[in-house]
């Protein structure tokens, strides 16, 4: 009886571990994610932005912290777009009219797309709402952030600016390398 019980418990634990294993972690390549047009943005996919630092945010109209994150995403796009940052908001509402209604009241300056089938969040292994992924110029995930609080602003912005700076250095270093190679 004890053996059966322990087998059942370990099977349940295994299931929990299995579900959390699917999540994309820092250092792993970002999965390709195709998103449909939404609001004023046209259809796109995350692999189109290779060579840019990409901040992907999964949001839904029914999620209050997602609403809180919206002004932060707008600020990021406004301040850092010219420095090579692309902010992409992936809406995961099952009913697209909910997302459109949300966007009527909350303007977004960044790229917004829709994934009603939940393919993108599944491939990223989203663990909570909102979830954001910071992807470097080579397509590698550098930061995974679940949830959003006002106090997270500074830390997130610091990480993004650091990555933008790092990549500048990397690209300038590789350019110098290429120049030396050609000489």
Beta-bridge mates of residue 85: 53
Toward other proteins, which CB reaches closer, 7 or 170? 7
Residue 41 in tokens? 């943005």
Shortest Å, Cβ 128 to other proteins: 5
Shortest Å, Cβ 26 to other proteins: 19
Between the CA atoms of 51, 52, 53 and 59, what dihedral angle is there, to the nearest 10 degrees?
Answer: -120
Toward other proteins, which CB reaches closer, 24 or 53? 24
Shortest Å, Cβ 170 to other proteins: 33
Shortest Å, Cβ 47 to other proteins: 21
Positions that interact with other proteins (CB under 8 A): 19, 58, 60-63, 92-95, 98, 118, 121-122, 126-129, 131
Toward other proteins, which CB reaches closer, 76 or 120? 120
CB atoms near residue 173 (< 10 Å): 10
CA distances (Å), 69 to each of 4, 53, 163, in order?
Answer: 47, 19, 20
Toward other proteins, which CB reaches closer, 149 or 182? 149
User: 3-state SS of 118-152?
Assistant: CHHHHHHCCCCCCEEEEECCCCEEEEEEECCCCCH
């Amino acid at each position: 009886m004890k053996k059966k019980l322990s087998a059942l418990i370990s099977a349940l634990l295994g299931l929990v571990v299995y579900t959390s294993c699917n999540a994309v972690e820092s250092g792993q390549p970002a999965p390709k994610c195709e998103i449909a047009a939404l609001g004023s943005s046209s259809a796109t996919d995350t692999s189109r932005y290779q060579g840019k630092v990409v901040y992907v945010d999964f949001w839904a109209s029914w999620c209050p912290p997602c609403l809180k994150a919206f002004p932060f995403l707008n600020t990021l796009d406004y301040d850092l777009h010219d420095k090579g940052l692309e902010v992409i908001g992936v809406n995961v509402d099952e009913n697209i009219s909910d997302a459109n209604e949300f966007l009527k009241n909350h303007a977004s300056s960044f790229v917004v797309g829709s994934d009603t089938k939940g393919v993108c969040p599944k491939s990223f292994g989203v663990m909570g709402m909102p979830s954001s992924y910071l992807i470097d110029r080579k397509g590698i995930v550098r930061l995974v952030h679940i949830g959003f609080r006002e106090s997270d602003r500074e830390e997130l912005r610091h990480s993004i600016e650091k990555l933008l700076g790092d990549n500048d250095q990397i690209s300038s270093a590789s350019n110098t390398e290429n120049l030396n190679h050609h000489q």
